[in-house]
Amino acid sequence: MTGTLRDAPVTQGGSGESPADYEAVIGLEVHAQLLTRSKMFCGCPATYVDAEPNDNTCPVCLGLPGTLPVINRRAVEYTVRTALALHCEIPDFTKFDRKNYFYPDLPKGYQISQYDLPLSRDGHLEFSLDGRRVRCGITRVHLEEDTGTLHHAGDVLQSATSSLVDYNRSGVPLMEIVGEPDLRSAEEAREYLVRLRQILMYIGVNDGNLEQGSFRCDANVSVRPRGTETLGVKVEIKNMNSFRAVQRAVEYEIARQIAVLGGGGSLHQETRGWVEARGATVSQRSKEQAHDYRYFPEPDLAPLVLGAEFVEEVRRALPELPEARAARLVEQHGIGEYEAALLTATREEADSYERIVAAGVSARLAANWLGNEVMRLANAEHRPLTESGLGEDGLVALLRLVEAGTVNTTTAKALLEELYLTGGDPAAIVRDRGLGQVSDTEALGALVDAAITANPKAVADFQAGKETALQPVVGHVMKATRGRADARLVNRLLRERLSG
Ligand code: ADP
Ligand code: ZN
Ligand code: MG
């Protein structure tokens, strides 16, 4: 069915070659669960993580005889949306096929997938890495259904063991995104995945959870003598559930293959599993034992004719994608490219930034705070600004106080940290606690004089040319004002006095 084995064992290379003589070739296959409410071919809920085992099941997704599948329209729409975001062509005519194999997590004995007429093909994903543009072709994006999950109790290697099966995940809509073998390093493979995940989350079709496996990847790796065109024998790697694992597994596999070929050995097509604890890939099965899936058209489903109107409708509804959005922010607000990339990492964060700027806060000030202090807190507290006590409105209020010079940066940072947790009105708190910035030249002048008297050694060092010696003197004034002094003014007054 899959044709002849074109990747029969071959021998390449020989002794006396170095790793630099080889080029790595990587092609990624990504499976992404779609964020639909119901499953692919029945009305059961598609969420399964918090459900009791086998609660979200029905005769259709349990594969009972006499049931018929019904295509989830939203799943088709999400797949087309993805395909369009990846610049794919959407053929007029598409169909589903049965992929037959036997495993306890697949109750029907076949998976409904797409074989020769997928929903889309011939797209690409382009991204920047180390100042270069990388373009990876997308072979196809197609739609299928997920399997159930097996839970092995006890050590599988011991005889006293039992396995339990949970069909909650059975029939969850699953999109497969097949990439061309256009990637040339583990870093490129990782970045491709980061960008792909970001796009899927931006367009709202996937939650991007590698750990739980709603976004998962198989990496195909081969090497070939540098300068040659023919593809080498590929090895498929599975079981990676983080970006770091993908990068490490690909790196390991490239080095392993080069070592085999460099030592005069040969490679054969196989599937290997990444074993995190060992930091190595381990052979699972060879191509010779690979399944013959005996694909044939799914007789219970009519082919799909999407129609140009439907496709155009989906295209019109596509949101601005992350790269375009970052470029627009640079253009529109004069912020740096790095900052823009940071602020557009997720659609929610980018929306937040744009709402805060729309509320009248300076674009640069907002970028600076969101990209630094707020991001740090969001990570530390495991909740975004919008779910913090402060919220976007609170941050806007706080930044207004900064812009107006009502509070200095030190006070504002302390307030941000406190209000992120507790919430509250920044202006009222500043008033009630008397946190307003001290920028009265006379009052500060007196404190500056006192600080100079109290720090003779630092003052002498400064006057001898040591710039940093001024810090404790400034600190003295800050302390005296409980951190409220206008730091710039304090610096100016100090320098005036010490240079006079
Ligand atoms: P198979 O028939 O084994 O499924 P495909 O040609 O369909 O292989 O490719 C599956 C994936 O493997 C794709 O992502 C593709 O880019 C990648 N791939 C194919 N050949 C190679 C190779 N020689 N080296 C690295 N990746 C490859
Ligand atoms: Zn069901
Ligand atoms: Mg294939």
Binding site membership of 147 for ligand 1 (Cβ less than 6 Å): no
d(CA 49, CA 32): 15
Structure-token pair, residue 468: 């940093």
The Å distance, Cα 335 to ligand 3 centre, comes to 43
Region 378-400: mean pLDDT is 95
Binding site membership of 25 for ligand 1 (Cβ less than 6 Å): yes
Binding site membership of 27 for ligand 1 (Cβ less than 6 Å): yes
d(CA 205, CA 46): 13
The Å distance, Cα 143 to ligand 2 centre, comes to 17
User: 200 or 410, which is more confident?
Assistant: 200
Binding site membership of 26 for ligand 1 (Cβ less than 6 Å): yes
Structure-token pair, residue 57: 């099941």
Atom number of ligand 1 nearest to Cα 29: 14
Atom number of ligand 1 nearest to Cα 7: 23
Please report which helix (H) or strand (E) contains residue 134, including its range: strand 132-145
d(CA 72, CA 209): 22
d(CA 408, CA 427): 13
Reply yes or no on whether the pLDDT at 12 is more than 70: no
Helix axes 441-454, 471-480, angle to 10 degrees: 120
d(CA 122, CA 139): 5
Binding site membership of 234 for ligand 1 (Cβ less than 6 Å): yes
Contact of 141 with 175, CB cutoff 8 Å: yes
> Could you read off the pLDDT of 169-218 as tens digits, one per residue?
999 999 999 999 999 999 999 999 999 999 999 999 999 999 999 999 99
H helical segments located in 43-140: 73-85
pTM beyond 0.85: the answer is yes
Q: Which ligand is nearest to the CA of 253?
A: 1
Select from 80, 79, 73 the least CA-distant residue to 315: 80
Place 430 in a pLDDT band, splitting at 50, 70 and 90: confident
Region 214-238: mean pLDDT is 96
Reply yes or no on whether the pLDDT at 15 is more than 80: no
Place 417 in a pLDDT band, splitting at 50, 70 and 90: very high
Bridge partner list, 133: 128
Select from 96, 123, 124 the least CA-distant residue to 112: 96
Select from 209, 200, 198, 134 the least CA-distant residue to 343: 198
Reply yes or no on whether the pLDDT at 76 is more than 80: yes
pLDDT at position 372: 94
Percentage of residues in the chain with pLDDT exceeding 70? 94
Contact of 75 with 40, CB cutoff 8 Å: yes
> Could you read off the pLDDT of 323-354 as tens digits, one per residue?
999 999 999 999 999 999 999 999 999 999 99
Domains of the chain: 19-309 (no CATH), 322-433 (no CATH), 441-499 (1.10.10.410)
Atom number of ligand 1 nearest to Cα 28: 14
Mutate to test the pocket of ligand 1, among 23, 234, 271, 289 (most ligand atoms within 8 A of CB): 234
Query: What letter would DSSP give residue 470?
Result: G
Atom number of ligand 1 nearest to Cα 2: 2
